[in-house]
Structure 1
Amino acid sequence: MWRVHPPSPRPNRPNHSARPLQPAPPFNAIAARRLRTALDMGPEHVAYGMRVSFGLPYVTADLVTSWERGTLFPSNAELSALAGVLWCSPGELIGKPRTLRDHRIARGLAPENVARFVGLELPAYLHMEEHGTWRGNNRQSTALAELLDLSLPDYITVTGREPKLAEMLRGAVTTRWQAYVRPVAKAVPLDRRLLEDSLQQLHQDYQGQMVASLSWGAGCAANTAGDAGRDFLDRIVDHFWAAVQDNTE
C-alpha cells in the first residue's frame, strides 16, 4: 500500500556561493564511502564527475573526503550530484529521514514534483516544508504518503501529528487508557482492536515501572526508577509503535 514510482530527479546546478538557506538532510558518510569504493573510484574521480557532469566547479577530492569523514556535509545540490556520480539514489546517502523535506530528498524529488502530485500550489507546499506544518486535506495527505512511500509512523511525523499523539499517549499511560482510544484513533488510522491492545500494553508497561519504583522505596534505586519513567514518557511515541508492532505479530 502507498507505493508509486516517483519521477526522475533533475540535477541542480547552483554555484558555490549560493548555499541553500535550509540545512541539508542527514548525511550517511559511511554509505557514501562504501558506494565509492564499490565502484573502485577515488575521491578525485568523484570530484571530477561532480564538476564535469553536474556543474559544481568547486568540488575537490578534499571536499569529498571531508564528507566521507563527517567533518562537512553536502548541500542538497551536492547530495543529488554525488548520488548521480555514485550511481545511487539520494536516499541511499542520507540517514533516516524525519522531516517532509528529508523524505522528499531521499526520493530524489524536486519540490514542484511533490506539489503537482499532491495538488498544491508550489509556494504553499514550500511553506509547509519550510515550517514543518503539513496543511493538506485527506486526499492530499494520502497522495503524499503514496509519493514518498511513507510508513505509518513516518506519515504521522511528516504530517505534524506526532506532538499531539505524544500528548495523548502520555495521558493514556498515566490515567485510564480506555478514555484515549477514540482520540488516538482520530490521529492514527489503525484497526480498533489493535489500537486498544497497544494502548493497554503501553499503559501496563509504564505502570509496571512506576510500581517497581514504589516497591524499591526511597534512595538511589527509586530515583533511578523515576528517571526511567520520565525517559519512558519522553520516548512514548517510540514505545507506542513498538507496542503496535508487538500486537500485529
Structure 2
Amino acid sequence: MHPPIPFNARAARTLREKLGMAPGHVAYGMSASYGMTHITPDHITAWERGVAAPTAHELNALAGALWCAPSELMDRPRTLHEHRLARGIAADDVADATGMSREAYQQMEASGVWRGDTGQSARLGDILGLEPRDLVAVTGREGELARLLTEAVSTRWQAHFKEIAKLLSMDKRDLKEPLRAMHDEYQTLMAATLMRASANTAAGEAGQSYVENIVDHFWERLGA
C-alpha cells in the first residue's frame, strides 16, 4: 500500500480559481470525463483545505479537470510511485520501457525497493525524466553513493570518480571538478581541526559532521 500522495492543496485551489471554476464544476468534470461519479463538491473543498487528499486515480482525474499536469498538484515527489504519478505515466508503460515484467515493476513500486540493474535504472531515469539526485533516491543507492564519496574525499578522489559516474549514469567529466573541490574542502577541514586544542575530538566531530552530510554536499557542488 502506498503512502498518501503529497498533495498540494494550495496549488489545487489556485488553479481552480484561476480557471473561474467552483468546486461543483470540478466535481462535475471529474465525473463526466473520468467516471469519478463518487466525487462531490465536498471532496474538492476537503482536498483544498488539506483535510483529505485524492487517491492516485482521483489525482489524475482532478488534473484533467483543471487542465494541468499531475505534478502541478503535488509537492516534491519522494518515491518511485510519486514520480510516476507526477509524470502521468502508467505503471505498465514504465515496466515496458525498463524491460521488466509488469508484475515485477509493480511489486518494486509497491514495496519501495528498486531491484533493477544498471541499464534498467538508466531507462527508468529517462522515461520519468529524473534528475540524478532523484534517480539515486528512488533506486535506493544513496548509501552506496555516500560510501564512495566518503572514500573519495578521504583518500584519492581520482580512484573513485569512475565508479561514482557509473553509479549515477553520468559523464565522468562532469564529476571531476565537484569531487576535486570536495576532496580539498574535506582535507582543509581536517587539517584545520588537527591544529586546534583537543585535536582528536575536534577532528573527529568535524569529520563526522561532513561525512554525515556528504551526499548533500555533493549535490550542492554538482549544482554549482
Match for residue 117 of structure 1 among 92, 97, 101: 97
Matched residue type, 1:96: R
In structure 1, distance between residues paired with 2:223 and 2:180: 14
Q: Which residue of 1 aligns with 2:109?
A: 129
Which one has a larger percent helix, Structure 1 or Structure 2? 2
The alpha carbon displacement at 1:74 in A equals: 1.4
Match of 2:219 in 1: 241
Matched, 1:56 2:16: no
CA distance, structure 2, for counterparts of residue 73 and residue 26 of structure 1: 8
Equivalent residue for 1:98?
A: 78
TM-score (norm 2): 0.82
TM-score computed with the length of structure 1 as normaliser: 0.74
Shift of 1:144: 2.2
Q: Is the 8 A contact 1:100 1:132 kept in 2?
A: yes
Q: Which amino acid aligns with 1:30?
A: R
The answer to whether the 8 Å contact 2:194/2:202 transfers is no
Listed one character per residue, the Cα deviations across residues 24-45 of structure 1 (whole Å, up to 9, x for unaligned) are 3322222211111110112232
Compare 229-238 and 120-129 and name the one that shifted more: 229-238
Change (3 A) 1:34 1:207: farther
Structure 2 residue ranges without an equivalent (≥5): none
* Equivalent in 157, 161, 172 of residue 192 of structure 1: 172
Q: Which residue number in structure 2 is paired with residue 41 of structure 1?
A: 21
Between stretches 223-232 and 173-182, larger displacement belongs to 223-232
Note the residue ranges of structure 1 that are not aligned, 5 or more in a row. Answer: 1-20
Residues 23, 75 of structure 1: 8 Å contact kept = no
Conserved? CA contact 1:185–1:192, under 8 Å: yes
**Shift in Å at residue 225 of structure 1?**
10
Q: Pick which of 110-119 and 167-176 moved more.
A: 167-176
Change (3 A) 1:193 1:51: closer
Amino acid at match of 2:44: V
- How far apart in 2 are the matches of 1:40 and 1:65? 15
Equivalent position to 1:203, from 180, 183, 193:
183
Question: Which protein, 1 or 2, shows the higher relative CO under an 8 Å CA cutoff with sep ≥ 6?
Answer: 1
